[in-house]
Structure 1
């Protein structure tokens, strides 16, 4: 059979492409042709209409709404989450085969005009929907974090060269108007100020984007205005990330409630344009400015003071906890909570160099690199015979994924053997997080892995922490695999021996 598939995940970085590869490999193994369109953060290359027309069935492995879904109208379709395709691609393919054998389906009505993508299951539990709302906001916030954080980090790096000392402080003192009126392309100071201003502008959108798209996930388009305005007010009153979360939920639920009002037919046309944004924005702004702003700002100040007050063993313990979370589910909800804690810390610290938040971000990224590097080390160097041929091939790819801070590179190993891989991942990642704090490494960029090494404070300490954690995880997973029988590897070895005979 011939199948076409679309894969997408909230961040559009790792699961999107891992699911695509898993489906392609599952199709090849079963004798079917599977062609995949990845709708990731880098955009997508649409499938050829002729390929879609020739397909027997369609697979949607997506956590976001599929773009231009009407292209696949009338074909048997299965719709699953992206993790399902990563963990059980043969099972997803089997569902698609069953759908094709069940016969053709009626063509649905054409999709609505293109809109920002999100996917919230209205029939899911409350906890699941809350997570989906949060992940929608975070997925749209991450590109702003990455762009702003790296630009500011580059600005600090240039400032350290342009000014002999305290460059990170000096770069913030130069008025941007001076650069606008007389930019000198051969002056490092001007470049540092320019990069800092651009990065600061990107950071200024973090909380409004987070709040706006949380509200959008709850109420669709009517939620955008109260969400963005509430997020902007959260920044104004100093409520920061926590204020953005609260504003997003308030704005979203207000807009959803107002949109469900029963109004005369004559008013229906102005409801989405005037009434819903006006009333929801007014109430959201009133609550954030008068009622919630001050308490949330005090809470954020307390959190910042607590972080900057941590020293010694307490700081090391925080690093270990962050590491445990990063290694717990390899890009899942717990991992994303730790990552969000790190990146939002960057936005709250402002432009103060040497703050604890930079060490938290370093612990997040270093710990997130450990699991894939450990699995690569174990499967391609230390204990090849304990891993299947497919795992050894995945291990080769995991070197690059781990070095690039893509924790999901360890998922193929965890999917096959979670009770050995995940504990090993958590132990090694916790060790790395603790060592980052002990070595006083810091990071101003929210992503990049070894490719942003020049932007890391104490890069040798950072690398040492990652290497030590990866070795610890690799040794632990090998030790755990020696306990009991590795039935998957034994079955593969037996098959190879029979084939050879």
Structure 2
């Protein structure tokens, strides 16, 4: 029973996250473009209102772009709450979820508050639909009036007076704790986030770490996002590299998967590593956790700052101290590749492709 409930909740939350992520990426990338453009002019605060009156048309445009990106990011909590509700009770919960998500944003209840808002909106609307019964002639009033009005009212009252207060306190405490981290503590935090991202390669633990890190971007906390974005790409790059460095330890199918894994790693998709995790989970998962943790800790510890939720190569050079950032990715990648090769032992996989590649040219001619 508990397992079923847990699976249902996970499905609803992941639905909300899947709708939220494109919005966050769009907003953050637009803001990154604005801020990189501003830095060309030596402007480090392109978001400041004073730039709206600049004599330079391009600077005014960059200032506006930053505002547009911030507007998109500001919709993150309403969208995740609305679509968690949508996953539970279809379109009935979209309005209550949007309103509750806006309330969560206003009272500072953070990402956890948005999750709670979506779940409350969804299940409130589901119960109203199920138990509010009117005569057949008036039945159409339920979905167009009763559910949206009372669903929204119940949800916002619970968020504002019951759920929101502890979540707002928790969120403030988390922000203060993260802002107060420095030195070894910050490196340890980065390693933990990196290990979580590398653990299940796009699964719930990975998504929990990545989504929380992205949510913290809205409060100006960048270290968790830096750690997460480094860790996203290390497993597919490392496992793909292993199939090149130790070609004879992999069959044709896995060597082809290795090529795909490298490509997916460079564009920022952890799932490229999944074929290797499925083939040998007890050997692969510990390695991806270790490599991701090391890469993330290095990037944050040495001062790299990634302010956008972009892990692919096209975002590397917008990172503060990007050479260190790229070096950290490389170190984590080689750790994953080296440990993977070591743990696979010495067996040589012989198949048609390997036989052809390993035949000495002289022997072939003879």
Instruction: Describe the shift of the 1:156–1:265 C-alpha distance in structure 2 as closer, same or farther (beyond 3 A).
Output: same
Aligned residue in 1 for 2:281: 418
Instruction: Describe the shift of the 1:149–1:495 C-alpha distance in structure 2 as closer, same or farther (beyond 3 A).
Output: closer
Could you tell me whether the CA contact under 8 Å between 1:150 and 1:444 is conserved in 2? no
Are residue 195 (structure 1) and residue 65 (structure 2) matched? yes
Aligned residue in 1 for 2:136: 265
Instruction: Describe the shift of the 1:226–1:144 C-alpha distance in structure 2 as closer, same or farther (beyond 3 A).
Output: same
Q: Deviations over 1:140-194 (max 9, x none)?
A: 00110000011111111122222x35x1x35333376x58xxxx8x633112212
Aligned residue in 2 for 1:228: 98
Normalising by the residue count of structure 1, what TM-score does the alignment of the two structures yield?
0.67
Per residue, is there more helix in 1 or in 2? 2
Aligned residue in 2 for 1:146: 25
User: Could you say what secondary structure the match of 2:49 adopts?
Assistant: coil
Q: What is the alpha-carbon distance in structure 2 between the residues aligned to residue 313 and residue 142 of structure 1?
A: 30
Q: 1:267 deviation in Å?
A: 2.5
Query: Aligned ranges for residues 36-435 of structure 1 at < 5 Å?
Result: 125-162=4-41, 164=42, 167=44, 169-174=45-50, 187-261=57-131, 262-349=133-220, 357-380=221-244, 382-435=245-298
Are residue 452 (structure 1) and residue 315 (structure 2) matched? yes
Could you tell me whether the CA contact under 8 Å between 1:207 and 1:241 is conserved in 2? yes
Q: 1:448 deviation in Å?
A: 4.3
Q: 1:335 deviation in Å?
A: 0.9
Q: What is the alpha-carbon distance in structure 1 between the residues aligned to residue 316 and residue 290 of structure 2?
A: 24
Per residue, is there more strand in 1 or in 2? 1
Q: Deviations over 1:287-319 (max 9, x none)?
A: 222333333222211111111101111111111
Q: 1:495 deviation in Å?
A: 10
Q: What is the alpha-carbon distance in structure 2 between the residues aligned to residue 392 and residue 436 of structure 1?
A: 29
Alignment gaps of 5+ in structure 1: 1-121, 350-356
Q: 1:423 deviation in Å?
A: 1.7
Aligned residue in 2 for 1:482: 345
The number of aligned residues is 357
Normalising by the residue count of structure 2, what TM-score does the alignment of the two structures yield?
0.91
User: Could you say what secondary structure the match of 1:443 adopts?
Assistant: coil
Q: Deviations over 1:114-142 (max 9, x none)?
A: xxxxxxxx997111111000001000001
Q: Deviations over 1:244-285 (max 9, x none)?
A: 111111111110110002332232111000011000111112
Q: Tell me which of the two structures has the higher relative contact order, counting C-alpha pairs closer than 8 angstroms and 6 or more residues apart.
A: 2
User: Could you say what secondary structure the match of 2:134 adopts?
Assistant: coil
Could you tell me whether the CA contact under 8 Å between 1:159 and 1:171 is conserved in 2? no
Q: What is the alpha-carbon distance in structure 2 between the residues aligned to residue 471 and residue 407 of structure 1?
A: 16
Could you tell me whether the CA contact under 8 Å between 2:35 and 2:46 is conserved in 1? no
User: Could you say what secondary structure the match of 1:316 adopts?
Assistant: helix
User: Could you say what secondary structure the match of 1:125 adopts?
Assistant: helix
Q: What is the alpha-carbon distance in structure 2 between the residues aligned to residue 480 and residue 342 of structure 1?
A: 31
Aligned residue in 1 for 2:362: none
Aligned residue in 2 for 1:35: none
Q: 1:496 deviation in Å?
A: 5.9
Q: 1:206 deviation in Å?
A: 0.4
Q: 1:195 deviation in Å?
A: 1.3
Could you tell me whether the CA contact under 8 Å between 2:264 and 2:270 is conserved in 1? yes
Could you tell me whether the CA contact under 8 Å between 2:268 and 2:310 is conserved in 1? yes
Q: Once structures 1 and 2 are overlaid, which stretch shifts more, 445-454 or 321-330?
A: 445-454
Instruction: Describe the shift of the 1:493–1:386 C-alpha distance in structure 2 as closer, same or farther (beyond 3 A).
Output: farther
Q: What is the alpha-carbon distance in structure 1 between the residues aligned to residue 138 and residue 50 of structure 2?
A: 52
